[in-house]
Each structure stands twice: as C-alpha cells, then as structure tokens.
Structure 1
Amino acid sequence: MARTIDIAFGIRTLRLLPVLGCLVGVGSGLLTILFVPMPFGRLCVIAVSSLLVYGGDAALWVGPTRARLRVLDTWSRTHTRADAAAAWRAVADLPFAPLRRRFSYPLVIALIVAWNSFGVRLVGLPPQAFLLFFPGSLLTWLYWLLVRFYLTEVLIRPVLAEISAELPNGAVVPVARLTLSRRLLLAVPGPLVIVGTVVAGLVGPHTIVTIAVGVGASALVAAAIISWPMVLLANSMTAPMAHLRAAAERIGTGDLTVRVPIVSVDEVGVLAHAFNTMTDGLRERERIRMAFGTYLDPAVAEHILRGGPALAGAELEVTALFLDVRGFTGYAEQRPAREVVASLNDLFELVVPIVRRYEGHVDKFVGDGLLAVFGAPLPRPDHADRALAAALDVAAAVRRAPGQELQIGIGLNSGQVIAGNIGGAGRFDYSVIGDAVNVAARVEAATRETGDTVLLSEHTRRLLHAEPDELIARPGIALKGKTAPVTLYAPTNFSSAD
C-alpha cells in the first residue's frame, strides 16, 4: 500500500514539472534587471512574456509524456506480465522521450529569439543588444532541460521499482543510454557557464563585451579545468562498476569463483565488498547443495532446499521399486570386504542413473539392495509406467554389463504412502512410509521362488497406461505378512522361462 501511495505521489509531482518550468522561465525573465535597470512594470512584462517560451516547451513535453503514462495506466488496471514489461519500458523512457522530438528545438529557440527581441525593444535598447541576452536565455532553457531530465528520473524510480516486482528476471534489459561520464559533464560545466553569465551581469559594466568575456571565461574554465576532474571522477566510478557487471554476468553463467577487486574506499568499494560476500554465500549454498546431491538423491535435495517437505508429510500414490542382490551373503563370505564394496558400487553405478532417467529417486540403500520411488517428492501420474520401464532397463543393463557377477531381483508395487521427514531431535531423513513399500520388498523376495528377474504386483499392473506386450502371471504366490496368496506378473523378457 505504501509503495502504491509513493507511485501516485510521484506521478502527480511529474505532472507539476511544466509548472516548475514556467517558474524557471519567470525567474530567467527577472534576471534581466541584472543587465538593464528598468521600472518594475516593464520587468513584470518581460517575466510574464517568458511564459510563452516555457509554456511552449511544456506543451511539447505533454504529448510524449501522456502517451507513456497511458501505458502505465493500462498496467495499473491489468497487472499482467505482458503489460508490466511494456509499462516498464514506457516509464523508463519518460526522461528521454521529450528530448527525442527534434522539431521542438528550433521551435523553442524561435520563441527565445522572439522573446529576446521583444524585450530589447521594450526596454529601449539598440538591436545589437539582442546579442547580450540571447546566450543567457538559451543557456537557461538548456539548464532547465537538464534539471527536468534528472527530476523525471528521480520521480519514476518508485514506479519502476513497483513494476519490476512483477516482472520475471530477464523480462526487460536496461540499456545505458546516458553514461555516468556524460551525466557529470552535463551536470557541472553547463551550470558553471550560467553562473559565469550571472556573475558578469552582477559585476558589470553591462556591455556586450563584458557579457561575452564572462560567458567565454566561464566556458573556458569549464572546458579546461572542471571537465577533466569530472572525467576522472566518472572513471573512478564506472571502472569498478564495469568489474561488478562482468562479475555478475559470470555468476549468471554459473561461475561462482569470481571475485571483484576492491579498489576504492567509497560506496563503490562497499558495494564490491558486499558483492564478494554474496558470492561467498552462493558458493556455500552450492557446496551444501552438492553435498545434499551426494548423500541424498538430487531430486529430494532440491525439494528440501526449496522449502519442503513438511514434517507431517504428504500422502501420495507412488510405485516402489525394491532391488536386492541374490545370494549376496555367500558372495560376501568368499571375497574381501573391499572387493564386495567395489562390486556393490559398480552395480549401483549402473542402477542409479537409470532410476533418475525415469525421474524416480533412490530413497535409501539397504545393505546389498536399494529402494527407489516413482511419484515422490513430485507427483507423477505415470509413476507405474516409469517404474516398470526403469526396472526393465536396470535388468537389461545388469545382464549386459561385462564382468558383472551379481544377480539381482526387482519387485514393484504401487499404493498410497506418506512421503516426508522421518526422524527427530533435529535429525531427519526424507523417506516414504506405507504398506506399499513393504509389499514391494515382499514382491522382490518372491523372485527367488519364481526365478524371475522382475515381478510386479496386480496393483501396479492395473495402473500401467501402456502395458508391455506380454506379462506372464505367477498366481498363488504367498507373500510374507499376507494371509492370502497373490498373483504377480513377470515381463516376458525377464521371466524364468527366458
């Protein structure tokens, strides 16, 4: 709400800029008394006539400004992203739009010429006195253009901030139209010339030569003395900013090793330090993410880092894949522990990528086996199809692997589970709990009785969207913990008949 009030206040103030311009015009007319003493009545006539110049300038300002405010008004009513991007570009262009109307320059200059000619005749000066007043009037108008430009930039900042909050990153790409060096060169030397003109009028004598000397001297001082410090000052600010921009672009590509050199003791140096602190934090976060990805499945790690899962867990329908090594106890007795571990790691090196390829995740390694889950933490409507496809690919990969001595069995079962944090006292694991998981382990155990590599339950078979060409039924299988025998199914390519 506060930000909306700031925007309304900024827009109302923006619309007062023509009034401020007219006040600048009246002030420039009143400065005439510095050069020519005159009665108060004539001075007022000259001041009021200056409104013609600045009123014309204000009229030329209204058109491009109003067109861009209409785009802003459209966004304020719709608040859509497409309108937000257009509104941001329109508002950001507000300071520049009036300056691009090239026909306005000769028109306003013509008004200044007419105004000065009228003033010279009004106070009874010779025609050549026009050269006394025209440069100062022209400089004052250019000074007003500069002030109006900077005021507009200040007033539109809260508006741009509000719009940016609704834009996705990259929706708008700002372009540096007016560099910092040019801003400083316009902001300091230009007004210095105006000051020199005013001082010449105060000191006198009020002749064309005196004014010309005052204006020329101030312009020379601005060019020879003031401009160089401005260029150096701009460079001292823009060079570190260039480092910051280059570093930010490298971070955007994923390079978190970049650091920005701290080369100053001003606000830019503080900004560089804050930037380096930010990259340190990003590297730490990436290190944690990589550690999570090593000891947790990457899908689960990403889910946790994004704010889930809840402690209470979520009820989901999943397909559990339980894989176990047959005859592992006898195999482990006949080989050194290091060789046993290496064999298991080689096996899991084949299995885990296949599970990830089908967007499942390895819930846990259980000794010589593993439990993989499809449909959690992100729900998948085709979790049964993914699990069966992964099981078939795993079986085929293990069969083809050269030197692979371990024989595996895979059991699949689907059902409702609770997926969430399991643990306590600050130590949790993300896991799935439910009878569907227990049954998957029992289905895998049944492969030892049937001799099949892959078995799936009736529930999983019913959930398949695309059933394999042929599933061989294995009826009357007794599962541990189940009172009645069940029917399991074996894919033809990995059945005991193969």
Structure 2
Amino acid sequence: MGRRGYKSEETTGERRAAARLARSPRLRYALLRSLLSLAMLGANVIGVAIVFIVVRFVLPLPDIEDEDEATIAALIALGLYLAFAVPVGTYWGLRQSKPVRDWWLSGAPPTAGMQETILTLPRRMVRVYVVLWLVGAVLFSALSFRYSSELALDIGLAVLLSAMGTWAFTYLLAERILRPLAAASLEAGLPERTQTPGVTLRLMLTWGLTTGVPVVGMLLVAGGQIVGIYGASGDRIAVTALFLGGVTIVIGSLATLLVSRSLADPIISLRRALARVRAGDLDVRTQVYDGSEVGLLQAGFNEMMAGLRERERLHDLFGRQVGQDVAQLAIERGAELGGELREVAVLFIDIVGSTSMASERPATEVVGLLNRFFEVVVEITDQHGGFVNKFEGDAALCIFGAPLDRPDAAGDALRAARDLRETLAHAVPELTAAIGVSAGQALAGNVGSAARFEYTVIGDPVNEASRLTELAKTTAGRVLASAAVVDRAAAAEERERWRADGETVLRGRSAPTTLSVPVDAA
C-alpha cells in the first residue's frame, strides 16, 4: 500500500526490498546506506583493477629503462592512493547524504529543497569519484613522466577511459539503490523542473561512457601502432584489442541492462496498473521514483487515476440522487430541458400518521425509522424494474417505464405494491404506509432551468396515484390501484391478484375512478 492508502504497483524486486526494509526508518536507512557504500566501493575497485590490468598486461607500452623500478613504484603509489581515496570517498559521499538521513528519520513531509537534494544525490555522489579519479590520473601520469612521456600519456588515458565507465556505473547503481528515498520524496508531487537526466540523455551518456569511450581507446591504440608510437608485435596488439573489446562488451551490456531496467520498471508497473484498471480496480497508483519525464509519466498516471476516482465518485453520487438509469441516460444522451410522452406506471407511497410520529419521537429515532422505511422502498422498487424518482418528506414517488422502457410497466408497479405491503409489515412494523398505483401517458424528462433541473414525470397518472394514496390511508388494506392500471397489466396472473372495490370521485376530478385492491387485502 502507498502512503496515501492506494495499492502501488511495484516490481518483484522492489516488493522484496520493501519487505526487508519495512522494520524501522533507522534500519531502512542504515541498510540503504550500507548497500550504497558497498556498490560504490565495488564499482570503483573494479575500475581500478581494470586500469591495473590494462596498464600492466594489455597496453603496448613504450620501452623504458628501469621497468621493474617503475612497476614497483606504480604499485606502491596505487596502494597509497587507494588507502587515501577509499576513506575520503566514503566519508565525502556519506556527508552528501547527511541531510537526507536527518529528513528520513524525522518523518517530516519533503520540502522542495529536500526533493532536489534527494533526486540530485546520485549526481553529487558521482562528483566525489570524478574528483578522486581525476586526481589519480594526474598523480599517476606525473609519476610515470619521470620514466617516459609516452608512458605518462598512456597511463593517463587508461585511467580516464576506465574512470568514465566507472562514473556511469556509479551513477546508475546509486540511482537504483536510492529509489526508495526518491519515491518517498516524490509522494508530495513532482518538482517544477526535472532533477535527473532524461531518457535520451541517460541512454546517450551510458552508451558513450561505457561503450563509446572504450572504442575510442581501441582506435587510439590502433592509430598509435600505425604511426609507430608503440612498435608492438601483432600478437600484443591483438591481445589489446581482444581485452578492450571484451571489457567493452561486458561493461556496456551491464550498464545498458541497468539503464534499460530504470526505464522498463516504471513501464512494467504502469502496464500492471492498467490491467487492474481494466478489471475495474480504480484504487491503484504507481510509485513515483524518477525526477525525469519517466516520473512525469508515473505522476500523470496517478493524476489520471485520481480524476477517474473522482469521476466515479460523482457518478455514484449522481446515480444515488437521481437513479442509476437516469444517470446513465444523462451520460449517454446529455441533459437537456424538456421531455417526451411515455407510457408509465406510477406508485406513490406515504407513511400514515407521520405528523404525530414526528412530534412524539426524538428526531434521531424518526430519521432512523425513515431510513429503514426508504431502504425497503428502494430495494423493492429496484427489484421490479422501477426507480424512486423523488423522496418527499415521508413519501416516495416510484416510476416504472421511464427513463427506460418496460414491457409491462403496469404489472411491475402492481407487483411492487403488493411486495411493499408485505415486506414493510415485517421489516418496519413500527410504521404503516399507504400505497396508490396508477398508469397512463405522462411527460417524462428534465424540468427546471439550465442551471438546475431534475428528471421527473408529470401527468395524470402521478396525480391519480397521489390521490389514491390519500384514500388508501382510510382503507383496511392500505393499497389502492385504479382499474385502468390493472387492465394494462400484461400478465393475466397479476390481474387475477386484484379485484374491483367500487368507484369514487377523487379530489380534483369530475369523473369517477374505479378502484382495485389486492384480493388478499383485509
């Protein structure tokens, strides 16, 4: 899980590292620093070993007097310099990371300055070794100059060629090892400007320092042999070419692997995250640990997911407010004022004695009862293919046949009325509800203004259902339907569950309305 609670996509190696380092901040940092120190030391020791092998056994060095003395002097100087450079480089490198250590252990959120310090830490650590290698190149060239100027030039070039590959390796290793620190610093967001080399520059520098520079060395050896600087045998030149070529292949391949992984890892994590998004999981984010355009890609994905989560949340809230069908219709067709005539069935349900209930019970208890009541109303209405169009205090208007067509909207409404009567009697026995059902043509659409409107149904079926509900409050079964809605029911089985119960003139009407009640109503 990320710090914000979202599931983060990481590589297998990163998950293992996180599991090993999840014990305590102090231990995590100590392990990271130890791993970094070993990696830096190993890369530079290998670089020194390559220089020694190249100078001692590979390069066709010019003939010099006192060769044994020069060799012994070089070994002594190398040992003394390593005894000086290793502790100095280690101490200097650790000094570069001290502010990072203090921040990590404090647990404080990263500032912009701390982000820059962490993201540029690999580059600043490489500078330490750049200085030490350059000092070494000057020192060994000066030491060799007393024996031969050609020897001094060869040694200086050998040190510099090996140094460039070592610098590239040092940077790539430091960047990868410090990835957890970079990820923690970037949780607050990316800095305004990139702090690390981009993809193109990273690839070109890696190729140039680990492959291009050694190839230049081979070209210089070949050119020196042609112009007669060395005068070495063909076998010696062949050995030189084979060794430098082999080193180039090995070092170049390893460096290319490191830089390719630095680019492939975030792409793999993004691919896995996208697969989870396609499966419907929106609670996913990728770990951002790169300050270049790769980090922008990772952060862009997280921002996109935040937008999708917000959109899904709004969609969910919108659907809860107006009904999922209405919400989906608005998304697909847009939301314009006006409507269309549709054949609909309307069910109106109202609580009997709600005024006395509100005056006799505490408000919190009343709200609890209403929520239990409406929960049943919504569930039963959804089960029968309708939707609750609006809540009106202690009443609800339920529509069947709009916004989506129903093959038997009247039958659905009648079944829902009977089901509501039985379910409410068991689920909310503290309340008594009256139900009225009607059907016919009505105008269904968005009513209001361009700034604020709602989807509703207007027409005679709505008015009739409301009047039937008022009348049902005084009848024994508490459920009334007009004979017209029963006649419209497509299923004969449903029509047989209702019986005529006289007729009456509803309030606001001149013609009488024939009433129907469930056959099992008392």
Q: TM-score, normalised by structure 2?
A: 0.52
Deviation at 1:293, TM superposition (A): 3.7
User: Which one-letter code corresponds to 1:488 in the other structure?
Assistant: L
What pairs with 1:57-456 in structure 2 (closer than 5 Å)? 216=242, 220-401=246-427, 404-424=429-449, 426-456=451-481
User: Which one-letter code corresponds to 1:410 in the other structure?
Assistant: I
Q: For residue 94 of structure 1, what is the aligned residue in structure 2? A: none
User: Which one-letter code corresponds to 1:332 in the other structure?
Assistant: A
- Following the alignment from structure 1 to structure 2, what is the Cα–Cα distance between the partners of residues 423 and 309? 11
Deviation at 1:210, TM superposition (A): 11
Deviation at 1:491, TM superposition (A): 1.5
Is the partner of 2:404 in helix, strand or coil? Answer: coil
Conservation of the 8 A alpha-carbon contact between 2:350 and 2:435:
yes
User: Which one-letter code corresponds to 2:370 in the other structure?
Assistant: L
Q: Deviations over 1:391-437 (max 9, x none)?
A: 111111112236x2221111111122222221125111121112221
Task: Quote the RMSD (CA, aligned, Å).
Answer: 3.6
Q: Does residue 1:473 correspond to 2:500, yes or no?
A: yes
Q: For residue 35 of structure 2, what is the aligned residue in structure 1? A: none
What pairs with 1:24-63 in structure 2 (closer than 5 Å)? none
- Following the alignment from structure 2 to structure 1, what is the Cα–Cα distance between the partners of residues 350 and 271? 53
Cα 1:203–1:329 change in 2 (3 A) is: same
Q: For residue 462 of structure 1, what is the aligned residue in structure 2? A: 487
Q: For residue 509 of structure 2, what is the aligned residue in structure 1? A: 482
Is the partner of 2:420 in helix, strand or coil? Answer: helix
Cα 1:395–1:192 change in 2 (3 A) is: farther
Identity of aligned residues (%): 39
User: Which one-letter code corresponds to 2:480 in the other structure?
Assistant: L
Conservation of the 8 A alpha-carbon contact between 2:273 and 2:284:
yes
Q: Deviations over 1:197-239 (max 9, x none)?
A: 999999999xx98998798567524422211111011110111
Conservation of the 8 A alpha-carbon contact between 1:247 and 1:259:
yes
- Which structure ranks higher in relative contact order (CA pairs < 8 Å, sequence separation ≥ 6)? 2
- Following the alignment from structure 2 to structure 1, what is the Cα–Cα distance between the partners of residues 488 and 362? 43
Deviation at 1:192, TM superposition (A): 12
- Following the alignment from structure 2 to structure 1, what is the Cα–Cα distance between the partners of residues 361 and 313? 36
Alignment size in residue pairs: 309
Is the partner of 1:482 in helix, strand or coil? Answer: coil
- Following the alignment from structure 1 to structure 2, what is the Cα–Cα distance between the partners of residues 211 and 392? 100
Cα 1:425–1:228 change in 2 (3 A) is: same
Deviation at 1:333, TM superposition (A): 3.7
- Following the alignment from structure 2 to structure 1, what is the Cα–Cα distance between the partners of residues 433 and 310? 39
Cα 1:216–1:361 change in 2 (3 A) is: same
- Following the alignment from structure 1 to structure 2, what is the Cα–Cα distance between the partners of residues 460 and 294? 28
User: Which one-letter code corresponds to 1:302 in the other structure?
Assistant: Q
Is the partner of 1:313 in helix, strand or coil? Answer: strand
- Following the alignment from structure 2 to structure 1, what is the Cα–Cα distance between the partners of residues 356 and 386? 31
Conservation of the 8 A alpha-carbon contact between 2:448 and 2:454:
yes
Deviation at 1:260, TM superposition (A): 1.7
- Following the alignment from structure 1 to structure 2, what is the Cα–Cα distance between the partners of residues 363 and 430? 8
Q: TM-score, normalised by structure 1?
A: 0.54
- Following the alignment from structure 2 to structure 1, what is the Cα–Cα distance between the partners of residues 239 and 298? 46
Greater Cα offset, 208-217 or 404-413: 208-217
- Following the alignment from structure 2 to structure 1, what is the Cα–Cα distance between the partners of residues 452 and 344? 25
User: Which one-letter code corresponds to 1:409 in the other structure?
Assistant: A
Is the partner of 2:274 in helix, strand or coil? Answer: helix
Conservation of the 8 A alpha-carbon contact between 2:347 and 2:397:
yes
- Following the alignment from structure 2 to structure 1, what is the Cα–Cα distance between the partners of residues 337 and 213? 67
- Following the alignment from structure 1 to structure 2, what is the Cα–Cα distance between the partners of residues 203 and 389? 99
Is the partner of 1:418 in helix, strand or coil? Answer: strand
Q: For residue 156 of structure 1, what is the aligned residue in structure 2? A: none
**Unaligned 5+ runs, structure 2:** 1-202, 227-233
Q: For residue 114 of structure 1, what is the aligned residue in structure 2? A: none
Cα 1:385–1:304 change in 2 (3 A) is: same
- Following the alignment from structure 1 to structure 2, what is the Cα–Cα distance between the partners of residues 252 and 412? 43
**Unaligned 5+ runs, structure 1:** 1-182
Cα 1:233–1:388 change in 2 (3 A) is: same
- Following the alignment from structure 1 to structure 2, what is the Cα–Cα distance between the partners of residues 462 and 198? 99
